[in-house]
Chains A and B, each alone.
Chain A
Amino acid sequence: QKEVEQNSGPLSVPEGAIASLNCTYSDRGSQSFFWYRQYSGKSPELIMSIYSNGDKEDGRFTAQLNKASQYVSLLIRDSQPSDSATYLCAVLYNFNKFYFGSGTKLNVKP
């Protein structure tokens, strides 16, 4: 079983602050990494994909990947109350199997 670990939170940040979400994974053979946002009662929606070491920026979101340390992170700049949700880390293994962490709940306080 491939493990994807996330701190369940909740992580509380004030509006306008940077939220930092972390994820570690167990299998060095993992190829691709994804962050999904899930609002309560809704299905996950893709925010970011990252495939190689380093940073990838998309608007207020930055994904960071360090394969040597087997961790992935997501930074959300200028956090908004609408960012309050659960953030799921997903890892693709063997080009066909996606494993998910249990998610980190983020609360952005106005």
Chain B
Amino acid sequence: DTGVSQNPRHKITKRGQNVTFRCDPISEHNRLYWYRQTLGQGPEFLTYFQNEAQLEKSRLLSDRFSAERPKGSFSTLEIQRTEQGDSAMYLCASSNGDSPLHFGNGTRLTVT
């Protein structure tokens, strides 16, 4: 069990640029979740996959956000035309069935 891996750890980008984050879940976990967390708040659900199928996407997520999980393995989260309000910690987590979530170290995004 090597844990959930996220890359990069930090990303600084200018407003209007596109960014992509990667998450490698625990290998035997079939579910993968993306959350966003801002200072003083709990993780906010963005989307989740069961194997390669994206089963739910938060209504709070604008069309600038897209996520994929090809072949049910790693996942990517892309944000197009970044805005300053996108600055946050992006957390990936995986689980098996209804077992607890195991989080990666997160990607901290700063949009200048």
Residues on A facing B (Cβ under 8 Å)? 4, 6, 8, 31-32, 34, 42-46, 49, 88, 90, 92, 95-103
Contact = CB atoms under 8 A, between A and B. Distances in A.
B32 to A, nearest CB: 12
Given A42-B105, A45-B103, A98-B33, A103 B98 contact: no
Given A31-B98, A32-B98, A99 B55 contact: no
A90 B103 contact: no
Contacts, number: 54
Nearest to A34: B100
Q: Is the interface of B mostly helix, strand, loop or mixed?
A: strand
Given A43-B104, A44-B103, A88 B43 contact: yes
Interface residues of B, number: 24
Q: Is the interface of A mostly helix, strand, loop or mixed?
A: strand
A96 B43 contact: no
Given A43-B91, A43-B106, A96-B48, A101 B100 contact: no
A29 to B, nearest CB: 13
A6 B43 CA distance: 13
Contact of A96 (B31, B41, B102): B31
A103 B42 contact: yes
Nearest to B101: A98
Contacts of A97: 45, 48, 56
